[in-house]
A = this chain, B = another copy of it.
Amino acid sequence: MSLTDTSKSTNCLAMSDVLNRIGDKWSVMVVGMLGRNGTLRFNELKRMINGVSQRMLTLTLRNLERDGLVNRTIYPEVPPRVEYSLTELGKTLQGPISALWDWSAENHQSIVEARATYDARETAVAAENHQRIAYARG
């Protein structure tokens, strides 16, 4: 499926659907972590992913499992042990996600600078408009 095919509406729907899952920051983080570390337990993931709540990690993992991207293995021990890893399908996602991750690392600084420039200009424009209003009022 080449890039030129993406104008088809079916691809928009697929992209939309996929984005609803992997566009989620926690999902990307989980796939990234599992991709690099192979197999991780629940609390290991929780510690590695900064800011994720227990609830969100649980939901994220369930969704990834449901979509066939993550394996969930339960060991019937006491205390319980549950291990997560990427499925073969999940591993194929590593490529695109790595590309995104690398892009972020490379271009984050540019974005931060662009924001600063934009905000400075917006502030200046706002001040100018304020002046105009003052003039109009006499």
Q: Which partner residue on chain B sits nearest A8 by CB separation?
A: B105
Count A-side interface residues using an 8 Å CB cutoff.
56
Can you add 15 more A-B contacts, CB < 8 Å, to A66-B119, A67-B115, A99-B100? A3-B102, A6-B102, A11-B105, A12-B50, A14-B108, A17-B104, A18-B103, A18-B107, A18-B108, A23-B25, A68-B111, A69-B111, A92-B103, A95-B103, A100-B100
Which A residues form the contact surface with B (CB < 8 A)? 1-7, 9, 11-12, 14-25, 28-29, 32, 36, 50, 65-69, 89, 92-93, 95-96, 98-108, 110-111, 113-115, 117-119
Q: How far is the CA of A119 from the CA of B67 in the complex (A)?
A: 10
Q: List, in ascending order, chain B residues with CB within 8 A of A2's CB.
A: 102
Known interface pairs A107-B89, A118-B65; A24-B25 also in contact (CB < 8 Å): no
Q: Kindly provide the distance from the CB of A1 to the nearest chain B CB, expressed in whole angstroms.
A: 4
Q: Kindly provide the distance from the CB of A127 to the nearest chain B CB, expressed in whole angstroms.
A: 18
Q: How far is the CA of A27 from the CA of B11 in the complex (A)?
A: 16
Q: List, in ascending order, chain B residues with CB within 8 A of A99's CB.
A: 95-96, 99-100
Known interface pairs A5-B105, A111-B67, A114-B68; A15-B28 also in contact (CB < 8 Å): yes
